[in-house]
Structure 1
Amino acid sequence: MKRTLGIAALLLLGSTAHAQTTDFQARAWAASCAACHGTGGKSNSAIPSINGQDKQVLLTKLLAYKRDQLPATVMHQHAKGYSDAELERLADHFSRQPK
């Protein structure tokens, strides 16, 4: 029983560490978005805020930019620099930011 609890605790700690690493990576990627979309995705300019938006809406737009299916000035170039999975993590990150 103790061994089972020990293994469960290690798995939980490992998944928590992975989640924190993943979040750190997403936050690092999101930092480059701040130049246009503002800190945390909250824009103070004519560029749209992306904080607190629906994850699926953000992801759909990012993938459309990446595939040249949505007109853009620079977003298509930025989106092409990420894998689909990385774009999903970015969409998740910004969807969790407060409005």
Structure 2
Amino acid sequence: MGLSGGAAHAASPDGPFGAMSCSGCHATARGVDTAIPRLNGRPAAEIAAAMRDFQKGERAPTVMGRIAKGYTDPEIDALAAWFAAQRDAP
């Protein structure tokens, strides 16, 4: 997945597998107006739970359901921890 114009900043290239793809939809800078939530600084447990809910079809069907199914539990945990530790881009 490439960057979209609305995302505004890419995730750090040193993030875990898949992190760069997330910034294609999830903005990393405050002030970017999008209905898709930012991930930076969110609690890791919240991010991981959302990913697993998407995997199980327990959230409204979006592209995230298909994306989440491609990740293992350890990959989800790594992504969640990494995004929780990130701060907003300037």
What is the TM-score when the length of structure 1 is the normalising length? 0.66
Q: Which whole-Å CA distance do the structure 2 matches of 1:50 and 1:87 have between them? A: 13
Q: Which residue of 2 aligns with 1:97?
A: 86
Give yes or no for the alignment of 1:60 onto 2:49: yes
* 1:69 maps to 2:58: yes
How many residue pairs are counted as aligned between the two chains? 74
SS of equivalent to 1:35 = coil
Aligned to 1:33: 22
Cα distance, 1:24 vs structure 2: 3.7
* CA spacing shift, 1:54–1:86, aligned 2, 3 Å: same
Could you say which structure has the larger radius of gyration?
Answer: 1
- Per-residue CA deviation, residues 15-45 of structure 1 (Å, 9 max, x unaligned), is xxxxxxxx9461x41100111002xx44722
Which of residues 59, 63, 67 in structure 2 aligns to 1:78?
67
Distance 1:88 1:61 in 2: 11
- The residue that corresponds to 1:49 in the other structure is 38
Q: For the Cα contact (< 8 Å) 1:51–1:96, is it kept in 2?
A: yes
**Please, which runs of 5 or more residues in structure 2 have no aligned partner?**
1-12
TM-score (norm 2): 0.72
CA RMSD of aligned residues (A): 2.0
Runs of 4+, deviation exceeding 3 Å? none
Q: Secondary structure at the match of 2:41?
A: coil
Report the alpha carbon displacement of residue 78 of structure 1 after superposing the two structures with TM: 0.5
Match of 1:19 in 2: none
CA spacing shift, 1:79–1:37, aligned 2, 3 Å = same
